[in-house]
Amino acid sequence: MSKTSLKSQPVSGKTAAETVEQRVDDLLKKMTLGEKVGQMTLFTAMWAETGPTIDRNFLQYVREGRCGSIFNAYTAAYTRSLQKVAVEETRLGIPLLFGFDVIHGHRTIFPIPLAEACSWDLALIEKAARIAATEASAEGIHWTFAPMVDVARDPRWGRVAEGAGEDVWLGCRVAEARVRGFQGDDLAAEDTVLACAKHFAAYGGAEAGRDYNIVDVSERTLAEVYLPPFKACVDAGVRTFMPAFNEIAGVPCTASRALLTETLRQKWGFTGVVVTDYTAINELVPHGVAADLAQAGELSVQAGVDMDMQGGVYFNHLEAQVESGKVTKAAIDDAVRRILRVKFELGLFDDPYRYCSEKREKRQVMSLEHLRAARIMAEKSLVLLKNENKTLPFSRTLRSLALIGPLAEADAELLGNWFGAGDGKQAVSVAEALRLKFGDSLRVIAAKGCEIYGGDTSQFEAAVAAASEADAVLLVLGESGSMSGEAACRVDIDLPGLQNQLAETVARAANGKPVAAVLINGRPLAINRLNEAVPAILEAWFPGTMGGSAVVGTIFGDANPSGKLVMTFPRSTGQIPIYYAAKNTGRPISPDKYTSKYLDCPNTPLFPFGHGLSYTTFNYGPVQLSAASMPMRGEIKASVKLTNTGTRPGEEVVQLYLRDLVACVTRPVKELKGFKKVYLEPGDSANIEFKITSADLEFPGHDLAPIVEPGEFEVMIGGSSAVCNGQRFTLLPDK
């Protein structure tokens, strides 16, 4: 078979999908066992490593047909050079698949995914992923290892930065948006990349919030909390999946046939590729379920893993296992068929170099349009946690501003973790944004005050002097980019180092002048001390390339913050896990001694899920229902009158929560089931309406099969999960 014969050859009377299947089958028949195993092997190109290197000879393996995919390679020229080896120097000319961690932008870095979710703007989240795919594909990338859709309720876990927070329903909607953004409407278009749903499953439930740790979770919690966002990804058409590092019920996910075959493929109908996380097959040995790497590979392929990332286990052992009968040829063919299918779907057999366009690279990467979108996304992601006495926005007529804090001049830190091919030098710091906005018209008195870490107070004196001299004070505090993300977990999630002490000292020195703090971080923080020290706090997260400009514009009122938290802020690390959709106990909190409460801390969070203030104010009228009861197959409408009672135009995220008051199994005290983001001018009102159907009332029954039970339900609508006043309706049984 000649290499050119792999190109598109329409088959009369067949659909595009049928044609792809025919071409895959035709190619599979021509492949040797070694070439098939090569398609199941993924090695790094050493551009940006994410862990210990197993083998650096990837290029020779490509030339031998023993490596079918490469990750950590980008730029149009570099990927073209590698693709040329695969297409022109191998027997069958099967093109390479190039993967890269495009998590929240490629070159133009958007806010971390946790921050993006706080925008509650699904169209904007999808657009951010679309731009990331456009830039990545222009630099030769076909595949991103995103989105991470793990529900996470423990902010000690560093990878909360990569997900959409604690809520299941919202997590599903964000997952769908990001899959659509990455993959677009047509995978064969040149500006799409394969999305990868990760980490399947329950990775966010790691014990003690410690990365890679075991997950001890019930089947019910797995079904209700951790699996739904992955099912949403399948329904949205995601083409690749990545198993989690952790174990569930004694079985590491990379070796779990129950997850990867029975649930993912047989129950959900997923037809795409399952790729391991970095060296995850190798890690089955220290997990204790495999005696050696050969057995680890055997367990993984039998579980349903198609591709081995970087571990070299399939590369070294799989051929012998097929020849000895330990692994069937059918299992290998099934895996390779899935891998070849996505390569055909991307159009790589028709034009292996279609993603390697230097012209498109120059035109699209970090374009002005993309930078503007990154700034808008950063602005929409900001959450105004506190604003006593209308401290913010600062007056634009300020003559002087004290800019204090270890992150005030930071640029690269604003990118956070997993910032793809982003360049920290291209990021706009808060200090630079002030200079760009005001030039010489605002005197900025800068004083670092302290480092992010450590106990050196020698810079306090300069910070106090700056605060005493200036008309207002802006503190920029938080974490370094390396303090969140993979393998970046913390036992104490307060501000590190001396930052609390710095804030307290500076606030006293300001002596009543406006003081506001901006937080740069990758997780919810337990900031009781800061909350008591300053009147205004703006949560900026790691806001990306244009983060400084977004922060400064918002601080001075060019933009009105509208973000809402997607993860609860605890009062103390000791409250963790704390999340709004908890279940009641048999002894809910009350003044009685023997109820579910702490002796030294309220049960309530510092800032609840859904919380976020605005520079204007909104008033909610009472919840109105269209009927007192609803038939099982009918619907009911819930509405509320929202009024902008302030002096500025603004957006409000109106949130719908439901509670099933009595069910066959215990249910959460409330669950998010809808939201609408509403823009209102001062004095304007709008009637916000939600439609509720039986699908919104469904839950897993005793056997974990979905059921809807008749009974009484409570409807709550408000500006955060703290809303408690609502109306009740009765769901009637089928006649």
Say whether pLDDT at 52 is over 60.
no
The mean pLDDT of 601-613, rounded to a whole number, is: 97
- DSSP sequence for 206-224: -GGG-TT--B---HHHIII
Average pLDDT, the chain: 95
Asked if 133 and 635 count as a contact pair (C-beta separation under 8 A), the reply is no
The mean pLDDT of 76-91, rounded to a whole number, is: 96
Please report which confidence band the pLDDT of residue 89 belongs to, taking 50, 70 and 90 as the band edges: very high
Which residue carries 């191998």 as its tokens?
A: 90
Asked if 200 and 215 count as a contact pair (C-beta separation under 8 A), the reply is no
The mean pLDDT of 63-71, rounded to a whole number, is: 96
The mean pLDDT of 215-224, rounded to a whole number, is: 97
The confidence score (pLDDT) of residue 2 equals 41
The confidence score (pLDDT) of residue 55 equals 52
Residues 448-475 have pLDDT tens digits of 999 999 999 999 999 999 999 999 999 9
Least confident of 7-21, 338-352, 374-388, 431-445: 7-21
Say whether pLDDT at 10 is over 80.
no
Residue 205's φ and ψ, nearest 5 degrees, are -100, 20
Alpha carbons 42 and 40: distance in angstroms, whole number = 7
Q: What's the burial of 323, exposed, middle or buried (CB within 10 Å: 0-12/13-18/19+)?
A: exposed
Alpha carbons 466 and 446: distance in angstroms, whole number = 7
Strand, coil or helix: 73: coil
Please report which confidence band the pLDDT of residue 708 belongs to, taking 50, 70 and 90 as the band edges: very high
Please report which confidence band the pLDDT of residue 58 belongs to, taking 50, 70 and 90 as the band edges: confident
- DSSP for residue 696: G
Q: Name the segment(s) of the chain with CATH classification 3.40.50.1700.
A: 381-556
Residues 227-252 have pLDDT tens digits of 999 999 999 999 999 999 999 999 99
Q: Name the segment(s) of the chain with CATH classification 3.20.20.300.
A: 3-360
- What residues have CB less than 8 Å from 13, skipping those under 6 apart? none
Could you tell me the two tokens for 594?
A: 């023997």
Alpha carbons 507 and 492: distance in angstroms, whole number = 24
**Catalytic residue (choose from 121, 154, 277, 471):** 277
Say whether pLDDT at 354 is over 50.
yes
Residues 609-660 have pLDDT tens digits of 999 999 999 999 999 999 999 999 999 999 999 999 999 999 999 999 999 9
Please report which confidence band the pLDDT of residue 15 belongs to, taking 50, 70 and 90 as the band edges: confident
The confidence score (pLDDT) of residue 673 equals 98
Alpha carbons 314 and 292: distance in angstroms, whole number = 13
**Would residue 277 show up in a list of annotated catalytic residues for this protein?**
yes
- DSSP for residue 490: -
- The β-bridge relationship of strands 635-644 and 624-625 is antiparallel
Please report which confidence band the pLDDT of residue 12 belongs to, taking 50, 70 and 90 as the band edges: low
The mean pLDDT of 498-512, rounded to a whole number, is: 97
Asked if 580 and 607 count as a contact pair (C-beta separation under 8 A), the reply is no
Please report which confidence band the pLDDT of residue 714 belongs to, taking 50, 70 and 90 as the band edges: very high
The mean pLDDT of 470-489, rounded to a whole number, is: 97
- DSSP sequence for 456-512: --TTHHHHHHHHHHSSEEEEEEE--GGGSSTT---S--SPPTTHHHHHHHHHHHHTT
Three-class SS string for 630-652? ECCCCEEEEEEEEEECCCCCEEE
The mean pLDDT of 332-347, rounded to a whole number, is: 98
Alpha carbons 50 and 417: distance in angstroms, whole number = 12
- DSSP sequence for 270-290: --SEEB--TTTTTTHHHHTS-
pTM of the complete model: 0.96
Alpha carbons 273 and 341: distance in angstroms, whole number = 9
Say whether pLDDT at 534 is over 70.
yes
Residues 149-185 have pLDDT tens digits of 999 999 999 999 999 999 999 999 999 999 999 999 9
- In the CATH hierarchy, which top-level class contains the domain 618-731? mainly beta
- In CATH terms, 3-360 corresponds, of 3.30.360.10, 3.40.50.300, 3.20.20.300, 3.40.50.1000, to 3.20.20.300
The fourth-level CATH superfamily of domain 381-556 is: Glycoside hydrolase family 3 C-terminal domain (3.40.50.1700)
Kindly state the percentage of the chain with pLDDT values over 70.
97
The mean pLDDT of 683-690, rounded to a whole number, is: 98
